[in-house]
Amino acid sequence: MKHENHREDVAGRANVEDTPELLAYYDDLNRFSAGALWTVANKIEPWEPQSQSVPVVWRYADLRDKVLRSVDLVTPEKAGRRVIYLRNPGRADVAAAVGWLYAGLQVMHPGEVASAHRHSASAIRFIMEGAGAYTVVDGHKMTLGANDFVLTPNGTWHEHGVAAEGSPCIWQDGLDIPFVNAMEANFYEVHPDLSQAVGYAVDDMTKTWGNPGLTPYGETWTKRYSPMFKYEWAPTYEALLKRAQCTDGSPFDGVMMEYVNPVTNGPVMQTMGASMQMLRPGEHTKAHRHTGSYLYHVAKGRGHSIINGKRFDWQERDIFCVPSWAWHEHVNASASDDACLFCLSDIPVMRALGLYREQAFGENGGHQPIL
Ligand SMILES: [Fe+2]
Ligand SMILES: [Fe+2]
């Protein structure tokens, strides 16, 4: 029977030599669906998080043509959705981009619409290119442009489409599918009519709930996700520019704003949070690490990040990930232009469950040596 290597010279850690008698004992336990804890203890209780995910950058220059090619290869009727998903090489067991987050690049042509459905997994849809994209969430139609994103929270009916007069649209889907599957709690249902009636003014949820410093008189919202289904790029970027006039921002993240549920000031959904951060020209953040899985989408500009000592260059529309407890720092090498990173994470789960932990890189002025 195969079992784990044991750390040596460490008090309190399992360190039992195999003997023929013990191996026979392990086999015997195995026959009764049991095992000896000391054969696995060091693996299942590591000193610190050991992410199976590896840092990756998915370059849009590599993937855009492949996403578009799916239009010629499969129909939306047969494929359901034309999506190229991002596969973390460290995670052969599950379709995950990083940690317990799924991500994919989806393409849809003008006039196409996907059938309405709902599931226990929550999603965001972040628009990369094209005109005319819209999403209907529980009867609310939200129109979407580049760098806008829409929420389709756990259990909401939703369908995506592109207006007939639009242009081919590509977007990033980000979901908590691996997490909900790991929790063995995922349900999926197709809408009985395959599409929903739009019952409200277009973009009503953002127009109602998305006004800074104002809450709509007479409206109540008790659901556990944000009523502001769509978050737009223009006010986000404006907020970053305004905030940058007042602060140097975080030494680790530059000027960063978190997207929130305007009712609770908490995360946009229970399982996934989103933020946008601006790295000013020439900015090089200090390194830190924290628990949680992070999927960055370059909304603007170019630069690089150093993740666990390795440099990853990125530019607009590239996506890269920072696994849990990986050291990371970001660099905007441009002398004239800012760079903006959209980040999708499972930080609400980490915070809600008391698992969030953060540490600054202490040596070398806060910067990692490049390996
Ligand atoms: Fe969906
Ligand atoms: Fe960070």
Give the model confidence (pLDDT) of 57-89 as tens digits.
Answer: 999 999 999 999 999 999 887 888 899 999 999
The rounded radius of gyration (Å) of the Cα atoms in the chain is: 23
User: Residue 124 CA: which ligand is closest?
Assistant: 1
Determine the distance separating the centroid of ligand 2 and the alpha carbon of 273, expressed in angstroms: 13
Question: Looking at the CA of 275, which ligand is closest?
Answer: 2
Q: Give CA–CA dist 161/153, Å, rounded.
A: 17
Question: What are the chain's domains?
Answer: 1-44 (no CATH), 57-209 (2.60.120.10), 230-360 (2.60.120.10)
CA 111/CA 90 separation, integer angstroms: 38
- Please identify which residue in the block is written with the tokens 């973390």: 88
Tell how far CA 309 is from the center of its chain. 22
Look at residues 271, 341, 359 and name the one whose alpha carbon lies nearest to residue 303.
341
Cα–ligand 2 centroid distance for 1 (angstroms): 41
Residue 162 Cα to ligand 2 midpoint, Å, equals: 35
C-beta neighbour count of 262 within 10 angstroms: 21
Which stretches in the chain have pLDDT values below 70?
1-11
- φ, ψ dihedrals at 69, nearest 5°: -65, -30
Give the pLDDT of residue 80.
Answer: 83
User: Cβ(329)–Cβ(306) under 8 Å?
Assistant: yes
Nearest ligand (C-alpha, residue 121):
1
Query: CA 269 to CA 290: how far, in whole Å?
Result: 20
- Pairing of the two strands 188-190 and 117-119: antiparallel
Give me ligand 1 centre to Cα 118, in Å. 6
The 319-322 sheet, strands edge to edge: 57-58, 319-322, 294-300, 339-345, 273-279, 255-258
Distance 222 CA to ligand 1 centre (A): 22
Distances (CA, A) of 44 to 29, 49, 337, 341: 18, 10, 45, 34
Distances (CA, A) of 364 to 282, 290, 360, 369: 19, 19, 12, 8
Residues in the chain: 371
**Residue 277 CA to ligand 2 centre (angstroms):** 11
DSSP output for 64-92 = HHHHHHHHHH--HHHHSS-EEE---TT-T
Assign 160 to helix, strand or coil: strand
